[in-house]
Each structure stands twice: as C-alpha cells, then as structure tokens.
Chains A and B, each alone.
Chain A
Amino acid sequence: MGVNIAKLTQRTDLWPWLLLTPLAVYMAIFFVVPLADVAIMSFTEPSPTLSNYERVLTGGLYLRTFLNTFVTAITVTLCCLFVGYPLAYLMASSKPRTAMLILLLVTMSFWTSFLVRTYAWMVLLGNNGPVVWLLQTIGMERPPQLLFTRFSSTLAMVHILAPYMIMNIYSVMRKIDPTLIRSAESLGARGFSLFRHVYLPLTAPGIANGSVLVFVICLGFYVTPVLLGSPREQMIAGLIGNQIDEFLAFGMGSAMAMVLLVVTLAILAIYHRRFGLDKLWG
C-alpha cells in the first residue's frame, strides 16, 4: 500500500497552524507591525532620543492626564459594578424567560452603533435637552452644565461598558450550585451574612473578570471622552490624539501610547497572578 502514515500524521499536526495562518498574517500586518512602528517612533521621533519619555513621565500635564484617566477608569468600573451586580443577580434569579428578556435589553445597546449611543447622550444632556428641561421644570433656575463634563463622559462610558460587567458576573452567578445556598441556609446563614460569606465570594471571579475588562477598555477609551468629556480633563487617548492630529508630534504620541500599553499590561499581569486562583474555584 502506498500510504505514507508518517506523512499523514505530519499533515494533521500542521493543520491547526494552517488554519491559524490567515489570522496570524492579519495580526502581523495590522497589529504587530504598526505597534512596533509606534514603539520605534517613540524613541526616534523627531530624532533618536529618550526625551519623549522624559517629558511624558515628568511633565505635569501628562501625569495629570494619566492620573485623570485612572481615576475615571476606576470610577467607571465601580459604577458598572454597582449597576451591573444587582442586574446580573436579577437575571440569575429570574425564570429563564425573564432572564432572556433582560439579557436582550442589556445586549440591545450592543446592537446600536457606538457613535449613535454617544451622540444620543449629547442630545439628552445638551443645554436644550430633556434632562435640563426636566431640571428647569422642577424648579431649578440654572441647571448645572451636564454636557462636556467628567459627569457626562463617565455616564456614557458606564452605559457603554456596563454590559461587559453584567455578562461576566451573570455567567458566574448562573453557574452557582443552588445546593451551596441551601447548605449555607441550613447552617444558619441568612440575608447579609449569607451574601457576604457565601454569595459574594462565589461571584468574585465574575466581579474580577468584569472589572478588569471594563477597566482596561476604559483606559484606552477615545471617542466617548473626546466627544462628551470636558476638554480640560482629557483622558490619555484623547491627549495622544491631540499630539498626533494637532501637533504632528508622533514621538510624543507614541511614547504616551507605549506608557499606556506597559501600564495596562502590568495591570493584567498583576490580575493574572492574583486571580489565577479562580481556576481553583471553577
């Protein structure tokens, strides 16, 4: 028989790699190469130098922007958590049909374009918008500036990112064995103590996953803070955009992007070391 078994097995070994090739090529051309280019530019623009990093890491504006970005990201993450946790719980404890309905409503915002959602907030919070009108109607003479503030950008980011949090927490909650809750009750736990000692720790992996996801996406958020946020309290992505669009300072923009990348990777690494444990709870 002319079948070469060794050759056959070799081919099946190669098969997965072959399937991966289109994606690998795509990632190489559109992600790795540009990213390397950014890394190189951060050291070479306008001339071979470390001064870009020096300015980024010592300049007051840049550090303030980094700090502002982190504070915003933390705020958005916490808001998503406080909005998302109860909703996820509601879903997990509802009948399948109700849960599906809530899930549909939550994911519905995914179906709408990102920009449309952002513009919708501009309409809602604008000076002639319904929120201001409502505040005036209930007697507030000079309603506060809502649009183009940290409030408006945070609100819109929470709206956009909350589904990620909800989905993560919900998927963990749904898998919790009801016997655990019954056990806890039979052992004397109830209400808040049951929540604190049993339910919350069991849902912690979902909280951690959702929080990291929201936090990391938030760190690099561009459109929403630029369109809705205060020009004086920019986030880092907006600042990078400025450097490139307005000042053509490719070196500075690249250096900031690299710092953001390193910080994000560091956070992910810490998370991985800290919560690699969650596999244990699987």
Chain B
Amino acid sequence: MSSYLQLSGISKVYGQFTALEGVDLDIGKGEFVTFLGPSGSGKTTTLMIIAGFESATSGTVEVAGKSLFGLAPHERNIGIVFQNYGLFPHKTAAQNVYFPLQMRGMKKTAGLRKAEEMLDLVGLEGFGHRYPKELSGGQQQRVALARALVFEPSLLLLDEPLGALDKNLREQMQIEIKRIQRALGVTTIFVTHDQSEAMSMSDRIVVFEKGRVQQVATPLEIYHEPETKFVAGFIGESNLIEAKVTDAEKGEASNAALGAIEYAPTGKTSTGKDVTLMIRPEHIRLSRKPVDGRKNVTMKVETIVNYGDNALVIGKVGDLPMRVRVLGADVVIIQEDEECFISWTRENVYLIAK
C-alpha cells in the first residue's frame, strides 16, 4: 500500500517524562487504522500531534508527501471527533455542520444545503434544526461525525468517540462509522482502549504501550501472532507460559508445570533460550478423559464464570494458573474444585520471541 500519512521518528518529551519514543507509521489512503493501548500509552498524544494541538519534540508528520510542520490546527484540514463531541451548544445541528464550511467562506444557502446532505448521510434526516441538547448521545455523535467530514478533510481522527455511549449504541455506532468511512473513503485514525472496538472496525491496528509502538498489523494478525508479550496479554485473553526452548528446530520447549510443550517452529529463537508461549483460552479443550493426539495435562478447577453462551474456567496446573474458555453447554461436565483434563495441539501454541 502506498503511504498517505507518514509518521517518522515522532518523540514527545515532557520534562523528565517521555510520552512518545520513536514512533514510525505508514498509513495508506482510505485505510481505517486504530490506535489501541491503555491510557497513558501515547495513542492520544500521537493523535494530537497529527492534529497539530501538540508539537512533537522530534520527528515529522507528512500527509500525501507534504510536511505538516509549522501548520496550526486550522490550517491542516483534518477532521476530528472528540470524546465528548465538542458540538457548539449555541448552534443547531445543521449550523454545527455548516460551521467548517462557513470558515472556508462558503455561502450560507449552499453551505446549509451541504450540511443537510451530510446529516442525511449520517442518518440524521430532519434533525438539522435541533440543538445539541435536544439530541441523544448517539445523535450528537453523528452530528460531530458529519461536522468533521463535511469539509472533505484529508484525514479523519476519532478520539475515543464511543466512550460515552452505552454498549448497544456503541456497537451500532461502530457499524455506522465503518459504513460512513467506507462510503467516503476517508483515511481514518480511531483511538480507543477497547480491544473489541479495535478488532471489529480496523483495517490495521497499531498497539501502543509506554510511548512505543508495539505492533502494527491487521486485527487477525494481532490476535493470532502477537509480537510481544504485552500485545498477547492486551488483546484478547491469553495463557502466557514462560518456557525454555529445548529444541528450536523441532519446536519444543519445556515449562516446570506443563512439562514438554510442542509449538509450531519458527525461526525466531534458538535452543536454550527463555521464551513466552501463548495459548488462547478458546483453543484449549476441557475433558474428563485425556484426548488422543493432543497434549493433555490435569487441571484443578478453581472458578467457573458462566456467561451463558460461554464460560470461563479458571484453574491451576501445578502452580501455573490457566484459563480455558468453553461453550456454555459444555460447562456442565465439570464443577469447581474438581480435576479435569485440558488439552491442545502444537498449532495452538504460539511462540512470542523475547
């Protein structure tokens, strides 16, 4: 993919504190990229540097080959939706959406017509005359989105825009935002600390931690092939097992509690190295008896958390805590404080190089 937005060596230092360290990113035109990370990981700081509200201590930001250096926020032509929307309370929905056009010198009649068209696109037909206070959270969100898109920005930045909505509305808005983004083909950066949001919406995810980019990949790659322990732990649930490689060629390692573990061999490590192995809880099978052709160990069940459609079984193999996710219907076979077998295959074990 050809690069449209390019961040090179972005660092941000506040006194003693380094908020960002050497962030490099290439984002293609029309791509939907999510910045994912815990709070304080640098994702919002990066967004604000792109928007021009913060300046980088070092590094450059380029859009379509042009540096944004020295441009004030109003000169960057970037649409932003803030977490609390930032709608002007003294303007109606239509006037809010007209505002960026007004600032670009568009005449009122034409501008308001365009604003109404944009409101139609975000599903707010006939709401133009309402004030923000008269709209629900989801509707305000749509107005903010329309306002950030109406002037055909070179980039759309979304700063945790769904944080204030309840769960159902959030899922609905995820789908809406994706639909609108596809319809307009605008290059979009979405900031969130919610991994499921990141998984469901993004073309690619950028995982931030402690001011550094941990991994940039598609949601599936991030999930199945995390590059660092942090990514493995942060996205989805995982059993992270410290082990020592006993045969790098065949893909064998050993752990005190689990004994010998086979993994799909990669060229990433060598014999004798300490590594972390990841097994997703949903890849582990729970059974009364050992299953042929799989690696079986005995687990003592400690807690069962039932979610209805699925259940999380938490237990220990020796002194190693393990989590297994089973279908809701399967959970009846065991009870807390019982022992059972858990098993997996070589393909379920993923090696994270240290």
Chain A interface (Cβ < 8 Å from any Cβ of B): 177, 179-180, 182-190, 193, 197-198, 201-202, 204, 280-281
Contact B86 A182 (CB under 8 A): yes
Given the known interface contacts A183-B80, A183-B82, A186-B78, the answer about A202 and B89 at a Cβ–Cβ threshold of 8 Å is yes
Which of B73, B99, B103, B133 meets A182, CB within 8 Å?
A: B73
Given the known interface contacts A179-B82, A280-B131, the answer about A188 and B89 at a Cβ–Cβ threshold of 8 Å is no
- In B68-110, the 8 Å CB interface with A consists of 72-74, 76-80, 82-91, 99-100, 102-104
Which of A179, A180, A188 meets B103, CB within 8 Å?
A: A188
Contact B104 A188 (CB under 8 A): yes
Chain B residues contacting A198 (CB-CB under 8 Å) are 88
Chain A residues contacting B89 (CB-CB under 8 Å) are 202, 280-281
Contact A190 B86 (CB under 8 A): no
Contact A186 B80 (CB under 8 A): yes
Is B115 on the interface with A (CB-CB < 8 A)?
A: no
Is B230 on the interface with A (CB-CB < 8 A)?
A: no
Given the known interface contacts A188-B100, A188-B104, A197-B99, the answer about A183 and B86 at a Cβ–Cβ threshold of 8 Å is yes
30 A/B residue pairs, CB under 8 Å, sorted by A: A179-B82, A179-B83, A180-B86, A182-B73, A182-B80, A183-B80, A183-B82, A183-B86, A183-B87, A185-B53, A185-B73, A185-B74, A186-B74, A186-B76, A187-B74, A187-B147, A188-B103, A188-B104, A188-B151, A189-B74, A197-B103, A198-B88, A201-B88, A201-B91, A202-B88, A202-B90, A204-B90, A280-B89, A280-B131, A281-B133
Interchain residue pairs A-B with the least CB separation, the first 8: A183-B86, A188-B103, A187-B100, A179-B86, A185-B73, A201-B90, A186-B80, A190-B74
In the complex, A189→B96 CA distance in Å?
13
In the complex, A184→B51 CA distance in Å?
12
Which of B72, B83, B102, B151 meets A185, CB within 8 Å?
A: B72
Given the known interface contacts A183-B80, A280-B131, the answer about A189 and B103 at a Cβ–Cβ threshold of 8 Å is yes
User: A201-B88, A202-B89 given. 14 additional CB < 8 A pairs?
Assistant: A179-B86, A182-B82, A185-B72, A185-B73, A186-B74, A187-B99, A187-B103, A187-B151, A189-B99, A189-B103, A190-B72, A197-B99, A198-B88, A202-B90
Chain A residues contacting B51 (CB-CB under 8 Å) are 186
Chain B residues contacting A185 (CB-CB under 8 Å) are 53, 72-74
Which of A177, A184, A190, A193 meets B84, CB within 8 Å?
A: A177
* Nearest CB of chain A from residue B69's CB, rounded to whole Å: 17
* Nearest CB of chain A from residue B73's CB, rounded to whole Å: 4
In the complex, A204→B151 CA distance in Å?
28
In the complex, A193→B104 CA distance in Å?
11
Chain A residues contacting B148 (CB-CB under 8 Å) are 186-187
* Nearest CB of chain A from residue B146's CB, rounded to whole Å: 12
In the complex, A202→B86 CA distance in Å?
13
Chain B residues contacting A281 (CB-CB under 8 Å) are 89-90, 133
In the complex, A142→B78 CA distance in Å?
62
Chain B residues contacting A184 (CB-CB under 8 Å) are 88, 99
Chain A residues contacting B76 (CB-CB under 8 Å) are 186
- In B100-134, the 8 Å CB interface with A consists of 100, 102-104, 131, 133
In the complex, A93→B307 CA distance in Å?
50
In the complex, A190→B76 CA distance in Å?
12
Interface bits B325-344 vs A (CB < 8 Å: 1, else 0): 00000000000000000000
* Nearest CB of chain A from residue B133's CB, rounded to whole Å: 6
Interface bits B54-77 vs A (CB < 8 Å: 1, else 0): 000000000000000000111011
- Residue ID in chain A nearest B53 by CB atoms: A182
* Nearest CB of chain B from residue A54's CB, rounded to whole Å: 46
Which of A179, A182, A186, A197 meets B102, CB within 8 Å?
A: A197
* Nearest CB of chain A from residue B171's CB, rounded to whole Å: 25
- Residue ID in chain B nearest A182 by CB atoms: B53
In the complex, A177→B51 CA distance in Å?
18
- Residue ID in chain A nearest B104 by CB atoms: A188
- Residue ID in chain B nearest A279 by CB atoms: B133
- Residue ID in chain A nearest B105 by CB atoms: A188
Which of A186, A197, A202 meets B79, CB within 8 Å?
A: A186
* Nearest CB of chain A from residue B125's CB, rounded to whole Å: 22
In the complex, A246→B326 CA distance in Å?
98
Which of B74, B83, B91 meets A188, CB within 8 Å?
A: B74
Chain A residues contacting B103 (CB-CB under 8 Å) are 187-189, 193, 197
* Nearest CB of chain A from residue B149's CB, rounded to whole Å: 11
* Nearest CB of chain B from residue A181's CB, rounded to whole Å: 9
Chain A residues contacting B84 (CB-CB under 8 Å) are 177, 179
In the complex, A197→B84 CA distance in Å?
20
* Nearest CB of chain B from residue A185's CB, rounded to whole Å: 4
In the complex, A123→B6 CA distance in Å?
68
Chain B residues contacting A186 (CB-CB under 8 Å) are 51, 73-74, 76, 78-80, 148
In the complex, A198→B131 CA distance in Å?
15
Contact A180 B74 (CB under 8 A): no
In the complex, A183→B76 CA distance in Å?
13
In the complex, A58→B271 CA distance in Å?
109
- Residue ID in chain B nearest A185 by CB atoms: B73
Chain A residues contacting B78 (CB-CB under 8 Å) are 186
Given the known interface contacts A182-B86, A202-B89, the answer about A280 and B133 at a Cβ–Cβ threshold of 8 Å is yes
Chain B residues contacting A193 (CB-CB under 8 Å) are 103
- Residue ID in chain B nearest A178 by CB atoms: B86
Most chain B CB neighbours (cut-off 10 Å) among A184, A202, A204: A184
In the complex, A183→B157 CA distance in Å?
12
- Residue ID in chain A nearest B79 by CB atoms: A186
In the complex, A201→B87 CA distance in Å?
13
In the complex, A177→B83 CA distance in Å?
12
